[in-house]
Structure 1
Amino acid sequence: MGNGGAGGYFASMMAGLGGSSQGAGWAGPRFGPSARTYDEYFKAYSVAMLPGRQRDNLSYGGKIILPPSALANLSSLDIEGPWVFQLRNPSNIAASTHAGVLEFIAQEGVAHLPYWMMKTLRLNEGDPIRITSAHLQKGKRVKIQPQSVHFLEVSDPKAVLEQALRNFSALTQGDIIEIVYNSIVFDILIMEILPDVAGISIIDTDLEVDFAAPKGYVEPPRPAPAPPPTMASKLKIDLNSTTPGSSRASSAMGVAETGDFESFKGTGQTLNGRKTKGKGKSARKIEEVDASSKIIRTNKPRTTTVDELGNDRPAPAPLNLPFGHLFFGYPFVPYRAPETSANDAPHQPPSFAGTGNTLAGPSSRQVAPRAPPKPAEDKWAVKGKGRSLAEQDAIEIDSDSD
């Protein structure tokens, strides 16, 4: 754009601020005009003033819309692309940022910016803006901070940010950019950039992104460490119940026992398919015993008093038995069989001494008892003398001798 028209008007108006239509860049001292530097003034409007429907890549990106004359001037200056610009507010030198260009379809003398960029430069609709070509170093690392804790609800923030940064050409330290995800707008603060310069280019570069805790995020309190497991916790025993060792469900689950609870009242099914219903523990009450009884009920505490120690009743004492001994509660007397003599032996009645029947009919003949068998005769039992083959007297033979 030449010095005529709206561009020349703003250039003349801002001459007192050190601006010129073909001046040097923003950084460094000026040693004279450079033929390869683009420097123009425009009226700044938000992208909402563009005709047509709203485009998210323009509203939530880092690129601006310039008039067609800016394209002609950039081409005549032979500036290497991709083109990156430094945007400044002439009335506020501290307000500065960097941006790329998306299209050259704006009206002459007008530049359209995303709304977040208008807020960064503290510009209102129609305020003048100075746009200067810039050469930025490629970025290596950037640290960002979401300005809302709702950003933590994004399932994959890395992929969302990678997709959003495709609409940006440059990043400036201290800017609060806007990205959109699922129709939700998130503000992102550019906290740190590397190299440590005013702005970096993120075109065709591998950028390392670090996330800081979102603004307003409070670290949740760290839970107290769990107590070391005990045998009662492993066996699920409620130590606060009246019967810690009970196998009932209320004791095992830590539920306080009440008088209305009854076990074994549910329904069941037998092996043949017949359904049954339990009678409950109330079907048979626990028998009450006398207070002086030696029967000790485990469901009631029992203590030994001084009166019990004073009478003749033995008081319970700890059982410190040696290994291999048992305690039965009373002196153990081993069983001894009674001594019996031969005269006291029971008389054995004779067998087969009664009457019987034959196959032909009843008989009145009495069966005589069977006599015991006679011992076999010993042929050596006869005592006497004999003669040997040698005509000598033989010795007397006795069967009782060995």
Structure 2
Amino acid sequence: MNFGYSSNINGSNEFKENYRIYPISYLPNTVSDEKKQLLNNSGKIILPPSALTKLSFLEISYPMLFEIQSNISFNSTNVGVLEFISEEGRVYAPDWIIEQLKSPVTSTVSIKSISLPKANFVKLEPQSVDFLEIENPKVVLENCLRNYSCLKLDDIIQINYNNKFFKIKITDLKPDPKGSCIIETDLVTDFDPPKGYVEPDYKKEQEKIQKIEAIGEKDPTIESMTKRVYIPTLTNDNSLKPTATGVKLNGKKVSNNQILDDKPIVTHEQLKKLTSETEIKPLILEDGVLFFGFPYIAPKNGDSKDDDDSKDQNNSANFVGQGQKLKRNNKRKIGKVSPTGVKGGLSQEEEGRKSPKT
């Protein structure tokens, strides 16, 4: 088993090495968290600088594609390479690749260079119905697939959108399902329904709409949002009627017939007994009908005697007596005594002043 630079060339331009696999989160602190997150949602690995030296010696052409296989589970997938900055003997891979390989951390994996055809069609299956919440999934996937170099059938890749992770399964891939390159190619994408998605029954929805429309056609006087509901009388026991007489505000007495108007009155004890013996059922209305309370019925003219009493009260004189003004009249009148005790008219001095000289 080889680690690092040494490998078996076997007279061919094939790169093949064994490394210990580590997740992206194990990268040194010199790598930013933003870059780690970008790498973890991609299909590329980090190799040591010695791998770049050997790839240059073997004249491996761009794009550099590799097959990574676990030496424990023997599961494999196809990946690309982003940088050559890892420690010697180590390879850093995204979490979804480690899950796909079913390879424990620090276990050995075999990496060899491969050449793949250009992909022209891929079908994807989201692994969660939450994927339907994305407004334009096709554009989102096209942007996310730029972080991948190649795909393989039945692989479950991972994408990040709005800080939320989605897993996508490759259900169809052309021209080669075992692996196809998606770099610098025109790729047609298609979608399968998300895993766990249940197609709605459009026939039942249509029948429900027709039923609601039919309710409005039965009675044109009943609007679509209202319905008149009548509740039966609780009891008709005449022994519960009171014997006292009532008095109006104007002092007139009211007979029992006017008070009750043949309406039953139920006591608290009788109501408890009635509810305990009677099964209380919910108010079930038809589809599309809401209950906003009982309808208001305006009283007809002449039905109530209170109208006649109010007319009599309005006609009677409510106030009697003479009124006085707050402003006093200051005009002097002849023949009346002034407030000073002098009769009205001019005094002798005033007459002497105003009389003409003779």
Letter of the 1:101 partner, please give it: V
CA contact (8 A) 2:4 2:50 kept: no
Match status 1:57 vs 2:54: no
How has the CA–CA distance of structure 1 residues 137 and 257 changed in structure 2, closer, same or farther, with 3 Å as cutoff?
Answer: same
How has the CA–CA distance of structure 1 residues 252 and 100 changed in structure 2, closer, same or farther, with 3 Å as cutoff?
Answer: closer
**What is the aligned residue count?**
237
Q: In structure 2, what is the equivalent of residue 22 of structure 1? A: 8
Answer 1 or 2: which has greater helix percent: 2
- Post-superposition offset of 1:257: 5.2
CA contact (8 A) 1:139 1:193 kept: yes
Deviation string for 1:39-65 (max 9, x for gaps)? 111111111100133322200100000
- Post-superposition offset of 1:253: 5.1
CA contact (8 A) 1:237 1:253 kept: no
TM-score norm. by structure 2 comes to 0.60
How has the CA–CA distance of structure 1 residues 152 and 252 changed in structure 2, closer, same or farther, with 3 Å as cutoff?
Answer: closer
CA distance in structure 2 between the aligned counterparts of 1:252 and 1:219, rounded to whole angstroms: 30
- Post-superposition offset of 1:209: 0.7
Dislocated runs of 4+, deviation >4 Å: 226-230, 233-238, 250-254, 257-260
Looking at both structures, which has the greater relative contact order when contacts are Cα pairs under 8 Å and sequence separation is at least 6?
A: 2
CA distance in structure 1 between the aligned counterparts of 2:43 and 2:159, rounded to whole angstroms: 10
Matches within 5 A, 1:17-166: 21-23=7-9, 33-52=10-29, 53-54=32-33, 55-93=36-74, 95-166=75-146
Q: In structure 1, what is the equivalent of residue 3 of structure 2? A: 6
CA contact (8 A) 1:237 1:251 kept: no
- Post-superposition offset of 1:210: 0.8
Letter of the 2:13 partner, please give it: R
CA distance in structure 2 between the aligned counterparts of 1:157 and 1:186, rounded to whole angstroms: 11
Q: What percentage of aligned pairs have identical amino acids?
A: 37
- Post-superposition offset of 1:163: 1.1
Letter of the 2:295 partner, please give it: F
- Post-superposition offset of 1:236: 4.7
Which among 276, 283, 286 is matched to residue 301 of structure 2? 283
Letter of the 1:108 partner, please give it: E
CA distance in structure 2 between the aligned counterparts of 1:115 and 1:227, rounded to whole angstroms: 47
TM-score norm. by structure 1 comes to 0.54
> Cα RMSD between the aligned structures?
2.9
CA contact (8 A) 2:72 2:103 kept: no
Deviation string for 1:284-318 (max 9, x for gaps)? 56xxxxxxxxxxxxxxxxxxxxxxxxxxxxxxxxx
Letter of the 2:21 partner, please give it: A
How has the CA–CA distance of structure 1 residues 220 and 107 changed in structure 2, closer, same or farther, with 3 Å as cutoff?
Answer: same
CA distance in structure 2 between the aligned counterparts of 1:145 and 1:126, rounded to whole angstroms: 31
Instruction: Give the unaligned 5+ runs of structure 1.
Output: 12-20, 24-32, 240-244, 264-279, 286-402
CA distance in structure 2 between the aligned counterparts of 1:22 and 1:253, rounded to whole angstroms: 82
Instruction: Give the unaligned 5+ runs of structure 2.
Output: 232-293, 304-358
How has the CA–CA distance of structure 1 residues 251 and 209 changed in structure 2, closer, same or farther, with 3 Å as cutoff?
Answer: closer
